[in-house]
Structure 1
Amino acid sequence: MSTSDTLESFLIVQLSQDKLTASLQFNAANEEFACTSKQLEDFVRSNGVLFGIDSNVINKIANDPFSFLYSKTIIAQGTPAVNGEDGFIRYSHDMSDQQHRPVELEDGKVDYKDVTRLKNVKRGQLIAERIAATEGTTGKTVTGEALPCRNGKEAYFKLGKNVVMNPEQTALYAAIDGLITLTDKSKINVFPVYEVNGDVDYKVGNIDFVGTVVVRGNVLTGFRIKASGDIRIIGGVEGAELESEGSIEITGGILASNKGYVRAGKNVKSSFIQDGNVTASEDVLVTQSIMHSHVRAGRNVLCSGAKGLIVGGTIQAGEQVVARTIGNTMSTATVVEVGVRPELRSALLEMRQKLKQLTENVDKSDKALSLLDQLAASGNLPPDKMAMRIKLNATKRQAVEEISALRESILEMEKSLENTETAKVQAINTIYGGTKIVVGRYTRFVKDASQRVSFRYSEGDIVMFHNS
């Protein structure tokens, strides 16, 4: 027995579906079967198995076919394709506490919910490394065909603020001292944060910082904190000056004795405000009470905690003022204004002043010009007066243009003062007499205490609605 054809009648070569394995099986138990290793290998090859043949097994079958008569024997094994590993970013700190990831807002600023859990780094410190992806290895079937593989996907740094990359683009370093922070788009930032572990007093002094300031204590009267990020005070604030381009959060409340001020580019959040002066471009959020204070908010003043009391002082909001209780049984004078952004009122006053000034200037120019015109008509206008006349005409023309532009702006602003649909004052529980309500340009005095009411502008008047 020598040819492959003869072996054909005894043996079957089977390939697995993925062509990574070839097996040999006897199709009939024949005691007379005999062949050499070479003949067997040639036979396997003639059946298309060209790669990964196990000559050890081939030898064993040729030497002792009878041990293999009743089983299926693997005689060749291909190489599976191996996909590459994806690249990834390895951080120097554990960045897995997802719930403490501050959200990046539209304008790229970051809203800190929890500063305490972020990671401090020093300038020049390595904050992240880029681990390269690996290439895959092509596989091969037992029939000799190549099995394609996939290379790993590279990871890339998403650069946020205050970070620098090495020229090879494999490492990221902090450009400043601060906190390594992932914002919601997986951008890596280092945000500058200045922490005071105690009160802001004579030991610490005033703080002016290009980032976020966290104070784990009180801010005493006469001190100043200015921050281009947020300000977070874990204690209370006395008559200090706080100014932030972001939000200001005060856990312990404001007890200002009518000194200092608190101003935020976004929100001010505090447990209470007493004898304070507070301004926020967006909202002022108070859980307990606002007493005898001047509070201004571009949008809303919300004082709706369990106590939620507003009494005394002046509260101004662009849209709404909501409190549980407004005023008190002693009819303490309390003013609540809505429907006008507080800064618009002062801007309008300024514009009216300027208009008055410009109109007076034009009057003066007119008088001077009419004199010069008379001289010119009689042909007695010397060259220096001629130049003066040209200059006056130009000045007047510019002033007249400014006046008409200013009149238009004033008109527009007055219209926006009338835009009072969203403006509302709401007392969740009670509003007492002695409260003055202003909506846009309209005023109403509350004489008697009322329960669960809102005040809105409607058809030339301020109307009281009962809350559902």
Structure 2
Amino acid sequence: MSRGDRSRLALPEEQPKTTKAEFKDKLALEVSEDRMEARLSGEVPEGADRKQVQYAITEALKKSGVRYGMDAQAMRQAIEALLAGQRVQGLVVARGQAPVRGEDAAITPLVDFGAGVVGRVNKKGIVDFRDRGPIPTVQPGTVLATLKKGLRGEPGRDVLGKLVHPPEVRMLRLLPGDGVRIDDDGATVSAAVEGMPDRPEEERFVVQSVLDIAGDVDLNTGHIEFPGAVRVQGTIRSDFKVKCYGLTAETVEPRAIIDVKADVVVYGGIMGAVVRAGGNVMARFVRDARVVCNGDMNIDTEIIQSKLQAGGHIRVSGLESRIVDSHIAAIKGVQAGDVLCSRREATMIRIGVNPEFEKQYFANKRALESLVNQRDQIMEAVDAQKTELAGTEEELRHMIEAFHSMEGVKDREVHLTQINMIKPLREALKQGVAQGTLRLGEMVFEIQRLREQIARMEAVAPQGAIWLDVRGRAEQGVEIRTPRASLVLENTHQGFSAREATIQDKQTGEERPTVKLSRLRTTAA
């Protein structure tokens, strides 16, 4: 056919091909704020073909980082609508997988714990040390507490492919302690011996055998070192040592040395002794002594020429109670009647965190960050192993089905060799998943405990959160210290509260910490 013949044919006019440049910014993919949905909006130029539309959607997905949860049906719907010349608006083309919520654990105690009632508190908040109450004891086999186990949630994934952790749940477990037995499923703890039940930690229970001393700790008894609770009906005499789990005594004389893991209760006074306690300390009075405890310290009448340090509060609660020429330090605050001082700096009250506390706080923060990073890495690894394991199981299942349908011996031998090569891989993946899951379970407890410890520390760390409350008077020369400031009273002050605050220097405009005095708080009156 000649060129002239071709020119006389009525051929349809060719449509210009749509280029990639014409698709630029025509389609947009919006990821929701929680990254659990991706919505497609826009239109395509006239004349676009299916491959071009598919390519444009793929580019929009890449640009927005969407890589998980694509909805194939929604994609097809979008493509057909766009090819038909319609505009797509907010069509959900990808959905993340929401995390599965877990269930909190709970421990239910079934007996009374501790050293019994040390004293009844009257309407005025005064402890009557004469009302001692009984010390509870249990028999072997007594159920101390039951555990309702927590259920961990399952993480999900957002449309960007990142893990979405479920809300934190309270995970608890019963931990072994002296004198107790935990059943095989870890849901019940019971007494293994006769003795005094105690709960030194939220998850740990103990039953301490009790050593009763009818008289004094003296030459007749010698020094006392006992793993359980010691009840001294009389006095711990001068120069004698007592090391035990928990202690109750009438009085403690000069140069006695007391080292106790839990609580110390002295119905009379601590005089000239050294006392260290892992829990709380209660006494009628303290004179010329050094007392350190991790918990609270409750003194009834007076503290004279002593050094006291508490990880919690120090309270001197009697109506006419007093602190005289003593150094007092309490992380959570101090409450007292009169604070007296015979000479400058003879009496010092320190409230708030100490350097050791701050060091431990930041160490906990670093440890928590490291654990969380490790947990996420292990989660990713376990998730990848689970996916690979599922694929391997499926492949192995098909190979076994094919093996049984084969007739040729040679083919069956080759196939069997392949099956035997895959099986070790499957077992290795199973073991990896099991070990990773076990480690994740342990890390849940570690992370939770660190977070709780940090939260407890943060509850007392903020500036201005810790108070000194003086119900009576504080004399001239008394020094009040906080973590970042100090104040020596130039005059006697009546009924006030003190805390750390920030003031602005009028000349420089800079802020600086100071000890601020105010009217006695109502809750401390």
TM-score range relative to shorter protein: 0.3 to 0.5
What is the TM-score when the length of structure 1 is the normalising length? 0.47
Larger radius of gyration, structure 1 or 2? 1
